């Protein structure tokens, strides 16, 4: 039995990492990197979906607005109209709202798309916060849509679920990746 104490001030040698554990660690890192990349791709897909979906919805809104404006053309601007929900509004004000609605829809969808493009590029450098924001914004948009139109929950439910699952897995992987990185930094400081 060796009872000799090591001299003070000299670091104790770190035991070598067995090759099997090292291989498992590398495999784990690769798997997490793939999940993070998958989440980045999901963020990019959402950005593209907002462009395509926003354009389609915007064009449909333009057609609906044109039909509504044609119907409203029979009323004078100062004529008071009662809507189906009992709200009273001047015809001129209603025309302004109908004209503005498609523009607002285009702007909102394109701004969300731009945000997701920024999050996609940010996720390359800092995946955890980018994926968190992407997931929170996506879920918030879905909740907002559901509040405004409950039938929107059902439309595209498969895509919505896939996006949420991929972002969730990416979030988990980014969190694990961040934890491993911090552990490596701590080990480097100790060594």
Question: Model's pTM, two decimal places?
Answer: 0.74
Q: What percent of the chain has pLDDT over 70?
A: 90
Q: How confident is the model at residue 143 (pLDDT cuts 50, 70, 90)?
A: very high
Average pLDDT value for residue range 146-173: 86
Angle in degrees, CA 148, 75, 86, rounded to 5: 40
Q: Which distant-in-sequence residues (6+ apart) come within 8 Å of 163 by Cβ?
A: 42, 45, 46, 138
Give the count of domains, the chain: 1
| pLDDT at residue 188, as a whole number | 81
| Interval 124-147 mean pLDDT | 91
16 lies in some domain: no
pLDDT at 116 over 90: yes
Domain contains 17: no
Question: Looking at residue 160, what is its pLDDT?
Answer: 87
Q: Judge whether 62 lies within some domain.
A: yes
Those residues whose C-beta lies under 8 Å from the C-beta of residue 169, and which sit 6 or more positions away, are 35, 38, 39
Residue 20 lies in a domain: no
Q: d(Cα 164, Cα 136) in Å, to the nearest integer?
A: 10
Is 141 domain-assigned? yes
Q: Is residue 43 part of a domain?
A: yes
Q: Which pLDDT belongs to residue 10?
A: 54
Residue 88: strand pairing partners: 82
The answer on pLDDT for 17 being more than 80 is: no
What is the rounded distance in angstroms from the CA atom of residue 88 to the CA atom of residue 80?
Answer: 7
- Confidence bin at 38 (pLDDT 50/70/90): confident
Whether 3 maps to a domain, the answer reads no
- pLDDT tens per residue across span 59-108: 999 999 999 999 999 999 999 988 888 899 999 999 999 999 999 999 99
DSSP state of 90: E
Q: Most distant CA pair in the chain: distance in Å?
A: 104
* pLDDT value for 15: 52
Asked if residue 23 is part of any domain, the answer here is no
Say whether pLDDT at 5 is over 80.
no
Output the pLDDT for position 52: 93
Q: Where are the alpha helices (DSSP H) in the chain?
A: 19-72, 91-125, 127-148, 157-190
Position 27 pLDDT exceeds 60: yes
How many other CB atoms are found less than 10 A from the CB of residue 47?
20
pLDDT at 18: 57
CA pair distance 65, 44, nearest whole angstrom: 31
Domain that holds residue 79: 37-190
Asked if residues 46 and 53 have their Cβ atoms less than 8 Å apart, the reply is: no
Task: Give every CB contact of residue 78 below 8 A, 6+ residues apart in sequence.
Answer: 90, 91, 92
Q: Residue 9: pLDDT band by 50, 70, 90 thresholds?
A: low
Contact between residue 42 and residue 168 where contact means Cβ atoms under 8 Å apart? no
Supply the mean pLDDT for the chain: 84
């Amino acid at each position: 039995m060796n009872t000799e104490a090591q001299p003070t001030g000299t670091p104790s040698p770190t035991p070598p990492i067995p090759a099997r554990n090292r291989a498992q660690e590398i495999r784990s890192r690769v798997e997490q990197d793939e999940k993070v990349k998958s989440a980045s791709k999901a963020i990019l897909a959402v950005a593209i979906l907002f462009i395509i979906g926003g354009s389609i919805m915007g064009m449909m809104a333009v057609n609906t607005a044109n039909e509504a404006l044609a119907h409203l053309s029979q009323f004078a601007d100062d004529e008071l109209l009662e809507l189906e929900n009992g709200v009273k509004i001047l015809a001129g004000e209603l025309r302004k709202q109908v004209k503005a609605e498609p523009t607002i829809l285009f702007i909102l969808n394109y701004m969300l798309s731009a945000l997701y493009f920024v999050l996609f590029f940010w996720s390359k450098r800092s995946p955890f916060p980018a994926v968190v924001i992407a997931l929170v914004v996506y879920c918030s948009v879905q909740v907002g849509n559901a509040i405004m139109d409950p039938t929107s929950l059902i439309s595209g439910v498969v895509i919505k679920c896939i996006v949420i699952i991929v972002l969730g897995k990416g979030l988990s992987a980014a969190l694990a990746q961040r934890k491993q990185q911090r552990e490596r930094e701590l080990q480097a400081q100790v060594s």
